[in-house]
Chains A and B, each alone.
Chain A
Amino acid sequence: MKVHNTLATQTTRRIFATGAISVAAALALSACGGSASTAPTSEAAKPDLKAAGAGVITMWVDAERSPALKDITEKFKSDTGIEVKLVVKDFAAVRDDFITQVPTGQGPDLIVGPHDWIGKFVQNGVIAPVELGDKAGQFQDSSIKAMTYNGAVYGVPYAIENIALLRNTSIVDSKASTLDEVVANGKKAVAEGKATFPFLVGMDPKQGDPYHLYPLQSSMGSQVFGKNADGGYDAKQLLIGDAAGVEFAKKLAAWGDAGEKIINSNITGDIAKEKFIAGESPYFLTGPWNVPDVQKKGIKFAVDELPTAGGEPAQPFIGVNGFFISAKSANALATNEFVTNYLTSESAQDSMYTAGGRPPALKASFEKAASDPVVAAFGKIGSTGVPMPAIPEMSAVWADWGATELAIIKGQGDPAEAWTKMADSIKSKIGG
């Protein structure tokens, strides 16, 4: 083992590169040579990071988060001399691109995304665990829990998201704790002509929306997966088809198109938002992402706790956004330094909040953000939530779950039968 200030093998290559660049320059292409032209430095004092391939950390972000990271990356560069290159990618494609590109060695060192990508990332062997040590205690418990997979933490969280019940206070002025009361209030408002819809929740016309309906389901005691000893979801314990789940299915049919029409399969997320903003409904089951538009329209609203349908607490799924390190990062040490010691800082988490508006995962930053009552209310509801399952088996659940709920809401077939069939289908996919 030799201590490299500049790696020996790199030196010859660098000489070659320099020669190559001068040839290239002679060929009127000097512009291409910039990255490799390294000035000779006092080797012992300032090792050549670029020659060791360590000069740059590449990070994939989406357009919204990119500006928020500018300050912290500049601080990192002035402290360590290492540049963090932010590559803006389309959010819809970034997960699959990461999975395909990491094995080729061309992937980034870092990526930003929601925690439920972890299962797929681990399955494909593309991310490395991150050890936060004592810093884990500075984050909200739920966020660390969400980032934990198979007993190890895989990402540094920065934001927590969950849904809540928005109430138009000029239509219904008091808070209700059960769904029955909510529905009664809503119906009363409709009867009095103050509203057109008693209750709003967006449904995808093709996939339904099990994510938004999950608090109602969990309040009836139905869960998707059981948990194993270390607190993670266990794919072998598929609980969705149990008696509580079937009860939920029956209720769903009763709330659906053929029943009370509380949940309407033809109301998409966009239609639901439009109707709430137009003041046509007292209630809207949604997340913080729709709040700015509601505020813009001047609707007076309150963020209510999720109503229970079956007596048990209505637990929403929480989604945690965070940073993940590539398993094949050539610059793993510097990346770890940046992730565990810079991105966990209060100022970094503050600026991510300012840019994205998602409640911060770091306790200190959250307390500051919680001066906004909306953030505080969403955060309080989130603390009762459960992490969205990140295990890869979950992807087999979503499609069946959504389609079955949609069919039940539309009143197609017997709800109990459809629900059991769905559970069997999911089971066979996970097993096979």
Chain B
Amino acid sequence: MPKPDLRELPAPGGQPTPVEPSGTGARSGGTTRTNGTLRPAKPIRHPDSLKGTILKVVLLGLVDAFAVYVLMMLFLSQSWAALAVSALVVLAINWIYLRKGGLPAKYLAPGVLFLLVFQVLVVVFSGYIAFTNYGDGHNSTKEDAISAIQLTAQKRVPDSPAYKAAVLTKGNDFYMLFTDPAGKAQVGSTEQPLTDAPDAGKDSTGKANSLPGYQTLKFQEIVANQQEILKITVPVSADPADGTLRTADGSTAYQFKPALNYDAATDTFTDTDTGTEYRDNGKGAFADSKGETLATGWKIDVGMDNFVRAFTDPSLRGPLLGVILWTFTFSIASVALTFVMGLFLATTFNREDLRGKKAYRILMILPYAFPAFLSGLVWSGILNPEFGWLNQTLLGGANIGWLTDPVLAKISVLVVNVWLGFPYMFLVCTGALQSLPSEIDEAARMDGASAWRVFRSIKLPLLLVSVAPLLISSFAFNFNNFNVIYMLTGGGPRFADTDRDIGSTDILITLVYKVAFGQGTGRDYGLASALAIIIFIIVATISAISFKQTKALEDVN
């Protein structure tokens, strides 16, 4: 912890210490003018201003205090890896801000840190998930799966009595004192089968609650030792088939018998009734010889399986190609149509002599101001075949399935997306058009160029220089435009040739969502991550190529 130098603190009494003008905290670097020429100055190190120092100390102190708290919590929860990483990060932050110099690092550190935490970590984690079978039925580790199977395999012995129970201790061992429905008291522990305890003391309800030589635990003590007490299994008799007595709440006990027995040495579960053996089938589940698996499995690494499945699974392969094609059509058409419309409107409203220009512009931007998912829902109401406003009012009661016919649904989705997207293009193009120097326009007209010619040969190329990168990002956005599709059609109408819930307006991202969280065949995070990586590769490739092309555009000018 850096301690503020007391000598630098303002004198008590609130007298302002005479210091240099504020706002001069970081002044190394910059430029100085010497001999009339401008050249990069050598970093000159000024002593930090008082305010700057105090601010730095306070901020860093708060960060460190928080870090210490986090480190304590990590230590207490014994998360060693996280503890080591966090400690390194804290050290790095302190080093960056406490050392002299290294100004770029001081500016970049927070951004880089957040980038690592919120972007890189997430991407790496999805990448890892893509190589596992994480999803429903493969939710955790093998140890968890085994203990969950053991937990659920405990079945109460049919028609067995319910016992009242008390927890006792003798020496360092736990015992349980049971009272059966007839009032007979018995005592036992995991090692010692049930034996009669005739001299047990009873409370007013007839429940045995004390035994000479033993100490009875109070509820708080039971809770404080619950991990041990929950593990107590008192054999009812010498015959294991009678099962064991266990308590879940410390005051009642029931006779349980496991339906499945786990043998750690052979790593198998055996059905106690039928004798069927369940072995690790290498796919993250226990299976018998017929391939029947136990309900709970665990997460394993499956290598490239998910990627292979994405392209070979018959219920996915057919629709996947269709979906990829439609995704491209949808995103390219969306960008092209919104751009054309936005540019047209921008050019129109850019006329100097247009009256009420501001009012028009505000109206134009309105669709952009609504949240996309809200607009999606509203439009799906408008397009309802029987009750929708479009069919009822505009088309005089026609019954056109705007969202239920495969072709019309695609068109509807595009139209709605254009409605949602053109204001953005309108804004961008208006801005770009207004920044073009008007002299060029005048010069071209003097040379006798028509308005169209001026637009095509002069304005558009200049416009594209600044707008092209935005078109690329708009493409990437529409490629993953989940809201419009999900809220408007949910991907439907469904394809007839697949078992999966995939339809003709599904784009890749809605498909991924359905695979990951959908109702169809259960959640499959592994496959969904693999598909997400495929999407990433496609978008990244296209963006990289397009940006190269944009550079060429700049060179022209």
Could you list which residues of chain A lie within 8 angstroms of chain B, going by C-beta atoms? Answer: 1-7, 13, 16-17, 20-21, 23-24, 27-29, 32, 46-49, 51-52, 54, 80-82, 96, 99-100, 102-103, 120, 122-126, 128-131, 133-134, 150-152, 205-207, 264, 266-268, 271, 327-328, 331-334, 336-337, 340-341, 392, 395-396, 398-400, 403, 410, 425, 428-429
A29-B225 contact given A96-B523, A123-B295, CB 8 Å threshold: no
Taking a contact as CB atoms under 8 Å apart, the answer to whether A340 and B249 are in contact is: yes
Contact partners of B137 in chain A: CB under 8 A: 123-124, 392
Contact partners of B75 in chain A: CB under 8 A: 16
Report B69-95 CB contacts with A as 1/0, cut-off 8 Å: 100100110000000000000000000
Q: Contact partner of B224 among A16, A54, A327, A332, CB < 8 A?
A: A54
A27-B224 contact given A133-B252, A264-B386, A333-B248, CB 8 Å threshold: no
A81 to B223, CA, bound (A): 11
Query: Which of chain B's residues 283-304 have a Cβ closer than 8 Å to chain A?
Result: 295-296
Contacts A/B (CB < 8 Å), 9 sampled: A3-B174, A5-B224, A16-B75, A27-B68, A29-B66, A124-B140, A125-B140, A334-B226, A399-B520
Taking a contact as CB atoms under 8 Å apart, the answer to whether A47 and B220 are in contact is: yes
Taking a contact as CB atoms under 8 Å apart, the answer to whether B72 and A327 are in contact is: no
Among all A-B residue pairs, the 6 with the closest Cβ atoms: A125-B148, A103-B140, A27-B65, A333-B226, A266-B386, A124-B139
**Contacts across chains A and B counted by CB atoms under 8 Å:** 196
B247 to chain A, nearest CB (A): 8
Q: Is B515 located at the chain interface by the 8 A CB criterion?
A: no
A47 to B221, CA, bound (A): 6
A20 to B222, CA, bound (A): 29
Contact partners of B145 in chain A: CB under 8 A: 125
Q: Contact partner of A3 among B65, B136, B169, CB < 8 A?
A: B169
Taking a contact as CB atoms under 8 Å apart, the answer to whether A122 and B295 are in contact is: yes
A96 to B517, CA, bound (A): 8
Query: Which of chain B's residues 192-240 have a Cβ closer than 8 Å to chain A?
Result: 217, 219-226, 228-230
A6 to B225, CA, bound (A): 9
Query: Which of chain B's residues 131-176 have a Cβ closer than 8 Å to chain A?
Result: 136-137, 139-141, 144-145, 147-149, 151-152, 154-156, 162, 169, 172-174
Q: Is B281 located at the chain interface by the 8 A CB criterion?
A: no
A197 to chain B, nearest CB (A): 11
A80 to B250, CA, bound (A): 13
Contact partners of A337 in chain B: CB under 8 A: 219, 249-251
Q: Is B385 located at the chain interface by the 8 A CB criterion?
A: yes
Q: Is B124 located at the chain interface by the 8 A CB criterion?
A: no
Q: Is B254 located at the chain interface by the 8 A CB criterion?
A: yes
The interface centre, meaning the residue of A13, A328, A336 with most chain B CB atoms within 10 A of its CB, is: A336
Q: Contact partner of B172 among A1, A51, A425, A429, CB < 8 A?
A: A1
Closest to A33 in B: B69
A205-B403 contact given A123-B295, A151-B155, CB 8 Å threshold: yes
Q: Is B522 located at the chain interface by the 8 A CB criterion?
A: yes
The interface centre, meaning the residue of B62, B222, B224, B296 with most chain A CB atoms within 10 A of its CB, is: B224
Report B90-131 CB contacts with A as 1/0, cut-off 8 Å: 000000000000000000000000000000000000000000
Taking a contact as CB atoms under 8 Å apart, the answer to whether A81 and B149 are in contact is: no
A1 to B219, CA, bound (A): 19
Q: Is B492 located at the chain interface by the 8 A CB criterion?
A: yes
Taking a contact as CB atoms under 8 Å apart, the answer to whether A332 and B521 are in contact is: no
Taking a contact as CB atoms under 8 Å apart, the answer to whether A266 and B385 are in contact is: yes
A97 to chain B, nearest CB (A): 12
Q: Is B519 located at the chain interface by the 8 A CB criterion?
A: yes
Contact partners of B64 in chain A: CB under 8 A: 27
Taking a contact as CB atoms under 8 Å apart, the answer to whether A124 and B386 are in contact is: no
Taking a contact as CB atoms under 8 Å apart, the answer to whether A28 and B386 are in contact is: no
Q: Contact partner of B144 among A28, A103, A120, CB < 8 A?
A: A103
Closest to A394 in B: B519
Q: Is B1 located at the chain interface by the 8 A CB criterion?
A: yes
A152-B155 contact given A337-B251, A399-B520, A403-B494, CB 8 Å threshold: yes
